[in-house]
Structure 1
């Protein structure tokens, strides 16, 4: 193969699509490759029973950045969906994030002052000066009742180990609001693209060459020769053939089914916070777009241990993995023609608006210097 493109974009997710769009707009040629059989990465949506199903879990776009919001609105019209999940603890329903509706249900308190006093009372009863684990940290922040009903079971399922064995830094702070407001994100701009995220990505990369079912790392040297520069959005440790070891993740397994009912749970997202329920949450996809279809599609989400070859979802940003990542990050300096970006290449959990912001920044920087 001879050089044919200015950029080879490895990964057809949000980061890669934005970079490719900006490069193409600047007159550069791009080829996008992805080892999956679809574009969109983890925000991929597919239509089932006329419902846009979030194949890799719920994705709600939210941001306080007006520039980011205006950017994505070039490619899709967004609806007015507001993320207001609820928690199911053994049949008791609580609003999330923790707000006055939560406190009223939990303790019968009515005013913010009453709620503050109740939380302070519970915090004081079990306060630990220097919390050594997540359990102590969470109780320090919100007290025993909220911890036991709304944090402990969900967190232990999410991470696959008891809270007293998890590091305190996982919960630096917990959102506590003394208003009757169930808006989880409380962002200036929020919504979901009408017609799904796949259509939005498709519009971003319109006219750009795309090759799916193609694993860059299997024939890396071949693909490197096809372009002047590579934009790599895959796992950073895989790029360097795991020379320092494998970075750890948590993975997710989904059980999705079509139900012959127009409304299964009355909300898009219900978290199951007891330890006994094996799944962490149930997503009813039609509610993301206020659907009126006669049937519904639900996905039960299970947090599972990750092993090499599984889909990586959440980086385990503990000290060991953070130090390992720094070794790989240092190695990126040796790759002058490769741009590393996105959650896997940077081993960091990103909200979608951050992905947009950083992809735009990187594209401007790279294109300005060409």
Structure 2
């Protein structure tokens, strides 16, 4: 069969593009180096529980069009992301809200919390935050930074908080209400029965052929020669043989265990914010779907430095890496048959709704 497109990677970006291309009568080959479809949103049923194999994925969006789009592939429940933090046995609500402030300082009203934070801000004397540490202290004060930000962040990124860009902390909401909902978005939930079904439906067209355990780089020259257009969602630096050096990523190691008890921690996500605990969080998967199974499955997440052969999860978007990415992007623009997408191809931290939006943007451009 002659194909119109080769899609490298069966994650949400590649699958969305393949689905839309097939709707328009295009023939698509999708390859993935893993033994399963779905990329990092892949879920697997174990003991009747949908296990998020590559970390917690909670769908959220403010865009009704994106929410309606994803809901055509699965029914979503009412799950609300309300993680908690464990700091040396002390429990705090996340994101930072009036419950957190009460747990820390005993404050009752927003005015009391604001005065407490304002006093700590003034004492820190930070006028123009230059890094994550300064950004965090200037927003929430020293107490919250020391207990709930510093240890977790430095474990996650493998760098001192004072060496990380300030924008990372800006993604974390701070609110002066008793609201434990982590996201401010209007729409939020978990697909009942897991995420894998979504990708299965996206790739179910007879015009789409999926091949797993296929490494693009084993037959890179052949793929580039035989396919008129390629949607590439892998690492952009690897695509160009690391010509300008490796981009930096953070990787993760997951340690899952099945426990012969019904409830381990009482919440889907518990962050461990002290520096001494080697993992950043524990996920108890059944709580994403309000499960009552007799057993439970937990996963500890251990962040680690990325090296060749590891799965890259988070791009390190500092000035040096961003400049290097721009050089690679320039190389890609010289190849009109190559289209880059996803977190790795675009070297950008994406949430799921942003991945879909980016893929649909490519679809609009490609088929206009």
Q: TM-score range by the shorter chain?
A: over 0.9
d(CA) in 2 for partners of 1:69, 1:343: 20
Residue 187 of structure 1, CA deviation: 1.2
Runs of 5+ in structure 2 lacking a partner?
Answer: none
Counterpart position of 1:90: 88
- Alpha-carbon contact 1:127-1:139 (below 8 Å) kept: no
Residue 262 of structure 1, CA deviation: 0.4
d(CA) in 1 for partners of 2:254, 2:144: 27
d(CA) in 2 for partners of 1:128, 1:68: 39
Counterpart position of 1:187: 185
Residue 225 of structure 1, CA deviation: 3.6
d(CA) in 2 for partners of 1:112, 1:56: 37
d(CA) in 1 for partners of 2:166, 2:191: 36
After TM superposition, list the pairs within 5 Å mapping 1:53-64 onto structure 2.
53-64=51-62
1:104 aligns with 2:102: yes
Residue 171 of structure 1, CA deviation: 2.7
Question: RMSD between aligned alpha carbons?
Answer: 1.2
Give SS of 2:275's match.
coil
d(CA) in 2 for partners of 1:331, 1:225: 17
d(CA) in 1 for partners of 2:356, 2:94: 26
Residue 132 of structure 1, CA deviation: 4.1
- Alpha-carbon contact 2:173-2:183 (below 8 Å) kept: no
Residue 169 of structure 1, CA deviation: 4.2
Counterpart position of 2:151: 153
Give SS of 1:253's match.
strand
d(CA) in 2 for partners of 1:257, 1:187: 32
After TM superposition, list the pairs within 5 Å mapping 1:156-235 onto structure 2.
156-172=154-170, 174-207=172-205, 208-235=208-235
Counterpart position of 1:356: 356
d(CA) in 2 for partners of 1:61, 1:136: 30
Counterpart position of 1:265: 265
- Alpha-carbon contact 1:5-1:31 (below 8 Å) kept: yes
Counterpart position of 1:317: 317
1:42-97 Cα shifts (integer Å, max 9, x gaps): 00111111110000000000000000011111111111111000000111111111
Give SS of 1:270's match.
strand
Aligned residues: 366
Give SS of 1:211's match.
strand
Shift in alpha-carbon separation, 1:327–1:58, aligned structure 2, 3 A: same
d(CA) in 2 for partners of 1:141, 1:276: 25
- Alpha-carbon contact 2:269-2:284 (below 8 Å) kept: yes
Give SS of 1:265's match.
coil
Counterpart position of 2:276: 276
Give SS of 2:311's match.
coil
Give SS of 2:252's match.
strand
Give SS of 2:125's match.
coil
Residue 173 of structure 1, CA deviation: 6.5
d(CA) in 2 for partners of 1:343, 1:135: 25
Give SS of 1:59's match.
coil
d(CA) in 2 for partners of 1:350, 1:306: 18
- Alpha-carbon contact 1:141-1:174 (below 8 Å) kept: no
Residue 333 of structure 1, CA deviation: 1.2
Give SS of 2:4's match.
strand
1:195-250 Cα shifts (integer Å, max 9, x gaps): 11111110111032100000111111212344321111111011111111110001
d(CA) in 2 for partners of 1:139, 1:182: 21
Residue 164 of structure 1, CA deviation: 3.0
**More displaced stretch, 333-342 vs 223-232:** 223-232
d(CA) in 2 for partners of 1:354, 1:174: 17
d(CA) in 2 for partners of 1:100, 1:181: 7
TM-score, normalised with respect to structure 1: 0.96
Give SS of 1:52's match.
strand
Counterpart position of 2:45: 47
Give SS of 1:62's match.
strand
TM-score, normalised with respect to structure 2: 0.97
- Alpha-carbon contact 2:60-2:189 (below 8 Å) kept: yes
d(CA) in 2 for partners of 1:166, 1:351: 20
- Alpha-carbon contact 1:8-1:226 (below 8 Å) kept: no
**More displaced stretch, 12-21 vs 152-161:** 152-161
1:254-308 Cα shifts (integer Å, max 9, x gaps): 1100001100000000000111111100000000010010000000001101112
d(CA) in 2 for partners of 1:225, 1:29: 17
Residue 148 of structure 1, CA deviation: 0.8
Give SS of 1:344's match.
helix
1:130-151 Cα shifts (integer Å, max 9, x gaps): 4444322321221111011100
Counterpart position of 1:139: 137
